[in-house]
């Protein structure tokens, strides 16, 4: 018998802002099994009398799964931002049951028959284009969920789904634990020379948190971790080559040895994905991935990769030759060869010399509160919406998390979002992401449930009385994630399955985020918020000009690095046979030979921390970043053609972008949406121009 949900458990309150301050692992342990039992019973009843109509299928299914999805989604979110041993244990225990239920839904013969009946029946002609698209996507999704399998094949498919989910969680946890297990504690002041003041402050604060109670920014000790805001600046600025080597080696061997070794998980994941593809009638996992993407097939991805690699490689080789020459000139060593841990250091020295520009010179002009103001101002200008601080209106999972509402030109609330800006390596995973916490949906009472997004970054935290002083890369990341949030929040689609980022093909989902990055180089936008955190003096114009001049500094090397990641992903998921003679290491060597200028170390196992493809949603899809960058560069070129100094034209173009890319979400194929905005299909010309590859 199904128990009635207890109102005291916050995970039962689906569709409302989560009561994050109250939620404990025990709540998930109680709520998820109960909601699973209820959803399972309701789904069984659904299968008994499902009607082949839109509301009879999608409406009822939404009502069945939303309570469970809410509880599980919030639990997964907390795994990323407030991780703990207790939460992990609960999540790992529940995950197989959750996967089993959703696998069952994806393999429901009754649902599949109802969908086919809807397509074949009279009701099909009455459906609008959005709903027809969703029905067709659902049919394909069910085929990929094993609907056509029977007997032992179906049983084996379900076993694979469960094991892959467990492997994914294990992979992610191993990366987090491996990163946490490393530290470099610097006690000699001479070894801290050259480190930026912000890094000295955060490293001293980290040391104090690790038990060095007397640590100060001036006297140390300083604790360097593998967290991005720590290791990244350290590799760029540390003058101690041996310590740079130690940190670099630790970074490229994360989760690749000992108790955290992910290599066996990688082999198992690739083996299972290959087997799963075979069960579904595909040759490779990549073919399954591309079946639901904007790109037509693997050949289209390979063509884009080759086109950009051919353009980038000569310039990347030139980049490196110039860097070696610069380092030799600076050191007086005419035979100096740069090791992998030298590249970041000398790249930063060359950038400082060539453009007289450094992150540390820029940081004081990027205090987090002012950057936020600027981000919200350009959002208002382009899309005619206001972002209103609403801290205290909802519970948050950590004291630094902010909450905001978005209002339209008439002052009506249309969306909201949480912003978790700072790095917390002790319990928060690295990277940056946007999550659709609550989706837009019509309500039974005729009202509208407004979308809520979660934006997570890992930027440098504030130290002492000073605000967070952001690197330019952190500013760009914030704009990027907000672009994702805008597509979720500014949707006008009232079909929940297609609202915001729902049903947007994976390789098009980065379009709004990468588009927003362009405004971090737009003078009027930047100069409206870049002010010194102590004096409020605006960023000097010549400093901004140096920033723009440095925009494409070693850009070919950056393009090549992304292509390397994407190419390796596709090779592992399309050409590699886990049962064959070639090893993962040999596949990597083959990709390295054509995609890198400075080859990785023999012991480099970056793939062991490549969470995007082994613990995230980017398997056989990492190319999506570059695919979407083509779209975003081409979209921004529409603003360039309109005239970036013409405010009227920019506003008009911004509204057009809002009404197409941001508003229509997954209601139409992304190629149709892009073509409506741009007036034609996408071209790589703008990306090549923007990254100086022409």
- Whether residue 530 contacts residue 523, with contact meaning beta carbons closer than 8 Å, is answered with no
User: Cα-flanking dihedrals φ and ψ of residue 619, to 5°?
Assistant: -60, 130
Q: Which of 34, 474, 481, 505 is catalytic?
A: 481
Cα-Cα end-to-end distance for the chain? 68
- Whether residue 552 contacts residue 692, with contact meaning beta carbons closer than 8 Å, is answered with yes
Neighbours of 408 (CB within 10 A): 14
- Whether residue 407 contacts residue 47, with contact meaning beta carbons closer than 8 Å, is answered with no
Helix, strand, coil percent values for the chain (each to nearest 5): 60, 5, 30
User: Cα-flanking dihedrals φ and ψ of residue 531, to 5°?
Assistant: -135, 150
- Residue 68, both tokens: 């469970």
- Whether residue 496 contacts residue 62, with contact meaning beta carbons closer than 8 Å, is answered with yes
- Whether residue 324 contacts residue 336, with contact meaning beta carbons closer than 8 Å, is answered with yes
Strand partners, 208: none
- Whether residue 236 contacts residue 347, with contact meaning beta carbons closer than 8 Å, is answered with yes
Reply yes or no on whether 481 is catalytic.
yes
* Distance from C-alpha of 393 to C-alpha of 417, rounded to nearest angstrom: 12
- The full DSSP string for 8-22 is TSGGG-TTS---TTT
- Closest by CA position to 56, among listed 107, 131, 145: 131
Q: How far is CA 307 from the centre of its chain?
A: 25
- Whether residue 457 contacts residue 421, with contact meaning beta carbons closer than 8 Å, is answered with yes
- Closest by CA position to 358, among listed 125, 89, 543, 612: 543
Q: Catalytic residues, which ones?
A: 481
């Amino acid at each position: 018998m199904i128990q009635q949900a207890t109102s005291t458990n916050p995970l039962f309150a689906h569709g409302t802002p989560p009561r994050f301050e109250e939620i404990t692992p025990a709540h998930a342990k109680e709520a998820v099994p109960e909601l699973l039992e209820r959803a399972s019973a309701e789904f069984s009843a659904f299968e008994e009398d499902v009607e082949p109509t839109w509301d009879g299928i999608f409406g009822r299914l939404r009502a069945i799964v939303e309570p469970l999805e809410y509880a599980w989604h919030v639990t997964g979110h907390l795994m990323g931002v407030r991780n703990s041993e207790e939460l992990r244990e609960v999540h790992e225990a529940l995950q197989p049951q959750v996967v089993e239920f959703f696998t069952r839904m994806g393999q429901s013969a009754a649902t599949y028959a109802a969908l086919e009946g809807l397509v074949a029946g009279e009701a099909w002609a009455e459906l609008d284009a959005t709903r027809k698209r969703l029905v067709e996507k659902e049919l394909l999704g069910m085929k990929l969920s094993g609907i056509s399998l029977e007997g032992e094949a179906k049983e084996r498919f379900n076993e694979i789904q469960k094991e892959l989910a467990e492997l994914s969680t294990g992979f992610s946890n191993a990366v987090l634990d491996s990163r946490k297990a490393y530290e470099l504690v610097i006690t000699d002041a001479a070894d801290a020379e050259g480190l930026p003041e912000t890094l000295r402050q955060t490293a001293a604060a980290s040391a104090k948190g690790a038990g060095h109670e007397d640590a100060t920014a001036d006297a140390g000790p300083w604790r360097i971790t593998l967290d991005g805001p720590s290791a990244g600046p350290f590799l760029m600025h540390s003058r101690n080559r041996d310590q740079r080597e130690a940190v670099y080696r630790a970074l490229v061997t994360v989760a690749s040895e000992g108790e955290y070794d992910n290599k066996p998980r990688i082999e198992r994941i690739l083996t299972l994905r290959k087997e799963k593809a075979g069960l579904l009638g595909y040759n490779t996992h990549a073919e399954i991935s591309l079946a639901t993407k904007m790109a037509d097939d693997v050949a289209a991805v390979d063509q884009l990769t080759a086109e950009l690699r051919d353009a980038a490689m000569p310039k990347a080789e030139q980049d490196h030759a110039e860097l070696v020459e610069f380092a030799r000139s600076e050191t007086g060593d005419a035979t100096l060869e740069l090791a992998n841990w030298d590249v970041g250091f000398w790249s930063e020295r060359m950038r400082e010399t060539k453009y007289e520009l450094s992150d540390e010179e820029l940081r004081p002009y990027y205090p987090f509160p002012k950057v936020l103001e600027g981000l919200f101002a350009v959002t208002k200008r382009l899309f005619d919406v206001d972002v209103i601080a609403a801290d205290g209106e909802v519970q948050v999972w950590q004291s630094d998390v902010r909450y905001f509402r978005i209002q339209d030109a008439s002052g009506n609330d249309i969306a909201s979002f949480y912003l978790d800006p700072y790095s917390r390596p002790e319990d928060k995973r690295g990277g940056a992401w946007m999550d659709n916490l609550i989706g837009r949906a019509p309500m039974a009472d005729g009202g509208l449930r407004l979308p809520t997004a979660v934006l997570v970054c890992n930027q440098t935290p504030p130290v002492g009385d000073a605000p967070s002083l952001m690197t330019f890369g952190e500013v760009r990341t914030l704009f990027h994630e907000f672009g994702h949030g805008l597509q979720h929040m500014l949707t006008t689609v009232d079909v929940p399955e297609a609202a915001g980022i729902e049903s947007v093909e994976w390789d098009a989902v980065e379009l709004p985020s990468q588009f927003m990055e362009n405004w971090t180089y737009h003078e009027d936008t930047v100069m409206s918020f870049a002010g010194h955190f102590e004096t409020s003096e605006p960023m000097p114009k010549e400093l901004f000009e140096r920033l723009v001049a440095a925009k494409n500094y070693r850009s070919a090397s950056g393009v090549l690095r992304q292509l390397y990641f994407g190419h390796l992903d596709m090779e592992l998921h399309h050409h590699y046979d886990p049962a064959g003679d070639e090893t993962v290491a040999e596949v990597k060597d083959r990709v390295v030979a054509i995609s890198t200028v400075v080859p990785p170390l023999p012991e480099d196992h970056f793939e062991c921390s490549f969470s995007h493809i082994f613990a995230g949603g980017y398997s056989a899809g990492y190319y999506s970043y570059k695919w979407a960058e083509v779209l975003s560069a081409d979209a921004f070129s529409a603003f360039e053609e309109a005239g970036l100094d013409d405010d009227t034209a920019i506003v008009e173009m911004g509204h057009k972008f809002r009404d197409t890319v941001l508003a229509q979400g997954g209601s139409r194929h992304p190629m149709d949406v892009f073509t409506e905005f741009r007036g034609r299909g996408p071209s790589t010309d703008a990306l090549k121009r923007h990254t100086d590859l022409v």
